[in-house]
Amino acid sequence: MEIRDSVAFVTGANRGLGLAFARELLGRGAKKVYAGIRNPVANSLPGIVPVKVDVTDPASVSTAAAHCGDVTLLINNAGIGRVNAGALDPAVIESACEIFETNFYGMVRVSQAFAPVLLANGGGAIINVLSDATWFARPVLTAYSASKSAAWSFTNALRIELRENGIQVLALHVGFLDTDMAKGLDVKKSDPQQVASRALDALENGSEEVLADAQSNAVKRSLSSDQAYYLDPPDLFV
């Protein structure tokens, strides 16, 4: 899909990777970028149109889709993470309920609301922001990883269903990013602007999956080997 002259809707575009996507889209000539955010502020960047949306709230999602009838590219970026003591931490269930509401049901909800908009506009694309955690569950991120695996599965089903309607569905997998979500973690992190740029390059190349950093590449490559990272994680990844 061509970014130039597209009209994008990016969830969670007020900071982190979502804001990087919004900037990158404008830089590549998108006609309009709707920033789907929970608490819109008046002074956003020129070319960015703030739209109030909470992906956990069905009414706000359907109102946003009704308001933004010209969208041709949806980026499901909004996400949350929670750290637990490990897989046996009783709080995993509570964390998973909270995280799934945003990372999984939120993605399903927003995709279902906007797919008819894309179809009415003749096709387009959806980018779903996933993670290397899709394929590798660090115990402290048990609930988060489960939500990204579920979101990956939904993305795969969505791709098959929408492909015949001319809608490209791109899964973005990436390891830690230098954003608020990973603040305080002493790990190697990628620059969100670079990751947004790689994802949009992949979209423009017609790809359906992008591994945006070395870490997600290594995790994916390991899957079919005897030493898949989910069985035998290198220390670096735990």
- 140 touches ligand NAP by CB under 6 A: no
Contact region with ligand NAP (CB under 6 A), list: 8-16, 24-32, 156-164, 199-207? 8-16
C-alpha 126/C-alpha 203 separation (Å) is 9
Q: To the nearest whole angstrom, how small is the minimum distance from the Cβ of residue 214 to ligand NAP?
A: 13
Q: Is 17 in the site for ligand NAP (CB under 6 A)?
A: yes
Query: CA torsion 100→104→106→107, rounded to 10°?
Result: 160
Q: Give min distance, CB of 138 to ligand NAP, in A.
A: 12
DSSP state of 10: E
What is d(CA 219, CA 115) in angstroms, rounded to the nearest whole number?
A: 30
- Of 49-57, 67-75, 85-93, 117-125, the window that binds ligand NAP (rule: CB under 6 A) is 49-57
Please say which residue, 57 or 89, places its beta carbon nearer to ligand NAP: 57
191 binds ligand NAP (CB under 6 A): no
Which residues are CB-neighbours of 183 under 8 A, at least 6 positions away? none
The residue within the footprint of ligand NAP, chosen from 6, 72, 77, 155 (CB under 6 A), is 77
- Minimum distance, C-beta of residue 23 to ligand NAP, in the bound complex (Å): 13
Q: Edge-to-edge strands of the sheet including 48-52?
A: 48-52, 32-37, 7-11, 73-76, 124-129, 167-173, 209-211
Regarding 52 and contact with ligand NAP (CB under 6 A), the answer is: no
In sequence order, what DSSP letters do the residues of 52-93 get, joined into one string? Answer: E--TT-HHHHHHHHHH-TT--EEEE--------S-TT-THHH
Interface size with ligand NAP, residues (CB under 6 A): 28
Strand ranges for 118-181 from DSSP E: 124-129, 167-173
**Residue 119 vs 181, nearer CB to ligand NAP:** 181
Question: Taking a C-beta distance cutoff of 8 angstroms, is the pair 135, 219 a contact?
Answer: yes
Whole-angstrom Cα distance, residue 199 to residue 21? 9
Least gap, CB of 234 to ligand NAP (angstroms):
18
- Identify the residue among 102, 134, 142, 155 touching ligand NAP (CB under 6 A): 102
Binding site for ligand NAP (CB under 6 A): 11-12, 14-18, 38-39, 53-56, 77-80, 102, 106, 129, 131, 174, 176-177, 179-182
